[in-house]
A and B are shown apart, each in its own frame.
Chain A
Amino acid sequence: MKIALRTAALTYLGVLVLVPLAMIFYRTFEDGFVAFFESVTTPAAISAISLSLLIVAIVVPLNVVFGLVTALALARGNFPGKGLLQAVVDLPFAVSPVIVGVALILFWGNDGWMGGAIPVIFSLPGMVLATVFVTLPFVVREVEPVLREIGTEQEEAASTLGATRWQTFWRITLPAIRVGVAYGVVLTVARSLGEFGALTVVAGGVAGESQTLTLLVHARYIDDHNTFGAYSASTVLMGLALLTLVLMTVLERRREA
């Protein structure tokens, strides 16, 4: 019975996850490493990788700063409308990425509420806004419970001893929540690199201009019929995902320790 259950579980995982993953690796490297390397260093690929990294570099600091402020407000503050704020933080999890794109076009677009105040369509600001939207909950949701857990005693002691708010934050609060922040950042980076749906709607994906790594995978497969190119670009993304998993595991251990 035990063996039967084990076999059933492993077969499901194999058919659904493992064998397809192995297949991608095989297809990527069947013509050797050089072919793979050339395929992911074409000008379009380089520019896609740079754009993906640029978006990460903008989104992570934004989410850390505003995420910390929001987490502090939610964990320590007591104000009318707090319940609503809590609900809004979780909203991005419940919204389809495509709807995120639609919302940004209707709000920031030329015919939208902001009347094109920021050029979001087919441009970097739009891609950043879309990515910030989908990754907004991560830092808040990782940090807020830690803030509740550590309480305010040490902070109160520090301020009694004459520390300013900034000193208390840098020396007491931040060191206590740093693993939570790191975990939130890892999740944000992974999700930012992988975002696709919201970007397809907003960015259009002009090669060498508004094409991220995920949009490149799609374009190579659909528009260029370059299956091998799509596989190689996917392998790069998969490598980054594996790295994320490793970092998550390491941080999980530190958090439990």
Chain B
Amino acid sequence: MASLAVPKPPARTRGRSTGGGVGPIGIGVASLWLSLIVLLPLAAVFAKSLEGGPGELWDAISAPSARYALLLTVAISALVALINVVTGTLIAWVLVRDDFRGKALVNAIIDLPFALPTIVASIVLLSLYGPRSPVGIHLYATKPAVILALAFVTLPFVVRSVQPVLMEVDREAEQAAASLGASGWTTFRRIILPALYPALLGGAGLAFARAVGEFGSVVLIGGGIPRDTEVASQYIAKQIETDRPASAAAVSVALLLISFAVLFALRFVTKRKDGR
């Protein structure tokens, strides 16, 4: 899933100055396509949210259950990103530095949450941690259930961003540190971790952005109890169901701005790193 990474800047620009492979018609078609499918519908959300003026927009976002849903979403997504930083680094480490039977299978499992439909993720977790739990763990409609669902769908991000960097890390510096008497933990903290920072930040940022908008995996196991386990996307869906499009648009805009801010910051960070 290389496509989920922040795209690299163009390696080289060649060919004719304008037009290129598809000519002006192609550029026109592409622009029209992207506008009709993506840009204009999103613009309609922003326009709808501002229809009643900024006062109404603010009222819709700061309504008690809307505000609670937004804050819960951000808090839980941040926590999930943090969990991923720890577990993702651990899994990447084991996949790169350790060797055991079935490692290839474990490596393949990492991508499963990307391939699995989100609603299936919800059902899968419910079968083990839901009302009929065979292990006696009942998480249905609790905050830990939401965290579990989000950790499931965001599993690949940090692993897949850290793994390639870990493969490239200079083993000689590590061996030098070890021969000078540094413990394994010190070597990891002083030599390896600094090299991993950009990848960790990138992976955690993508995981956060994904968690903020997540719906399908949370919808069944989270229960969607207002002011308890209802995340922002569930709140928005409910506003549409109860025919309150203006309120849905307002909370959508708030949620969009949060993910845009994170992804923009990420792009800025990765660009600076590339430019060094």
Binding site for B on A (CB under 8 A): 1-2, 5-6, 8-10, 12-13, 16-21, 23-24, 27, 66, 69-70, 72-79, 81, 85-86, 88-108, 111-113, 129, 132-133, 136-138, 141-142, 145, 147-149, 151-152, 155, 169, 173, 187, 190, 193-197, 200-201, 214, 217-218, 221-222, 227, 230-231, 234, 237-238, 241-242, 244-245, 248-249
Interface size on B, residues (CB 8 A): 97
CB closest chain-A residue, reference B246: A106
Asked whether any CB of chain A lies closer than 8 Å to the CB of B256, the reply is: yes
List 8 extra interface pairs beyond A78-B16, A95-B259, A241-B117, CB under 8 A: A19-B128, A74-B30, A99-B252, A107-B43, A136-B38, A196-B119, A221-B123, A237-B117
> Which residues of chain B come closer than 8 Å to A173, judged between CB atoms?
21
Nearest residue in B to A153 (C-beta to C-beta)? B14
Contacts of B44 in A (CB 8 A): 103, 106-107, 112-113
* Distance in angstroms between the alpha carbons of A72 and B29 in the assembled complex: 11
Tally A-B pairs: CB < 8 A. Answer: 287
A101 to chain B, nearest CB (A): 7
A201 proximity list for chain B (CB < 8 A): 237, 240
Bound CA span A44–B120, Å: 18
How many whole Å from A206's CB to the nearest CB in chain B? 14
Determine whether the beta carbon of A197 is less than 8 Å from that of B155: no
Given A20-B124, A105-B245: A69 and B98 interface contact (C-beta under 8 Å): no
- A104: B residues at CB distance < 8 A: 41
Q: Interface SS of chain B: helix, strand, loop or mixed?
A: helix
- Out of A76, A227, A231, name the residue touching B22 (CB < 8 Å): A76
Kindly state the separation between the CA atoms of A231 and B130 in the bound complex, as whole angstroms. Answer: 13
- Which one of B170-178, B194-202, B212-220 is at the A interface? B212-220
Considering only residues 49-89 of chain B, those with a C-beta below 8 Å from chain A are 87
Asked whether A72 and B21 contact (CB < 8 A) given A17-B109, A66-B33, the answer is yes
Is residue B125 contacting chain A, with contact meaning CB distance below 8 A? yes
Q: Of B5-13, B161-169, B268-276, which stretch is located at the interface? A: B5-13
Residue of A nearest to B32 (CB): A66
Given A76-B21, A245-B115 in contact, is the A9-B94 Cβ separation under 8 Å? yes
